[in-house]
Amino acid sequence: MKIMVVKDIEREDTEFICKTIGTKPAVHVDQFTADMLGSAELAEEVSLNGSGKLIKITGCANAGKTVTIVVRGSNKLLIEEAERSVHDALCVILCLVKKRALIAGGGAPEIELALLLTEYSRTLSGMESYCIRAFCRCYGSHSIYTS
């Protein structure tokens, strides 16, 4: 039986690995039972070109429940910014899964509204047409500053 032991592991990493391989964590050897065994086709320690090591687990029975994204960069600030960007992207995906609706940013809704109202103003005459066109110009200039 091939059993891998990993020392000095963070608590949050323990929970993640247990979810990945389908097991429960054992705090002490005395609490360890057969139903706490998880399985994977391969668990190996991989070197990151001299900048550290990580444990790579592949071939899990319940694949698709967890995933790891390795973020690397030349300095801590760059890595933190990349982590925030990945987090933001995952939050967008989560929102899209919960509610299947998407609206473009960068002033796109305002510009679209201004275009439609400008079209509508052409069907009017007099002061109404003038006021709607002035309102549309405000939307157009606002979207330039927000994008």
Give the pLDDT confidence of 17-59 residue by residue, as tens digits.
Answer: 888 888 888 777 788 888 777 778 888 888 888 778 888 888 8
Residues 79 and 139 in one domain: no
Q: Based on the fold, state whether residues 82 and 138 are members of the same structural domain.
A: no
Instruction: Give the domain range for residue 25.
Output: 1-68
The first and second tokens of residue 20, run together, are 């990945």
Answer yes or no: is pLDDT of 86 > 80: yes
**Residues 33 and 14 both lie in one domain:** yes
64 in the same domain as 1:
yes
Residues 59 and 79 in one domain: no
* Contacting residues for 109 by C-beta, under 8 A, at least 6 apart: 103
Closest alpha carbon to 25 in 33, 12, 36: 36
Q: Last residue of some domain: 44, 68, 92?
A: 68
Same domain for 52 and 83? no
98 and 120 assigned to the same domain: no
Cα angle value 140/142/147 (rounded, 5°): 100
- Shared domain for 91 and 126, answered yes or no, is no
Read off the amino acid at residue 103: I
Residues in contact with 74: Cβ distance below 8 Å, sequence separation at least 6, in sequence order: none
- Looking at residue 80, its amino acid is E
End-of-domain residue from the set 15, 45, 68: 68
Mean pLDDT of 91-107: 86
Q: Are both 53 and 79 inside the same structural domain? A: no
Do 95 and 62 share a structural domain? no
| Beta carbons within 8 Å of 3's beta carbon, 6+ residues apart | none
Predicted TM-score (pTM) of this structure:
0.54
More confident residue, 144 or 124: 124
Classified as helix, coil or strand, 43 is strand
Angle between helices 127-146 and 108-121 (to 10 degrees): 160
Question: Does residue 134 share a domain with residue 98?
Answer: no
How many domains does one find in the chain? Answer: 3
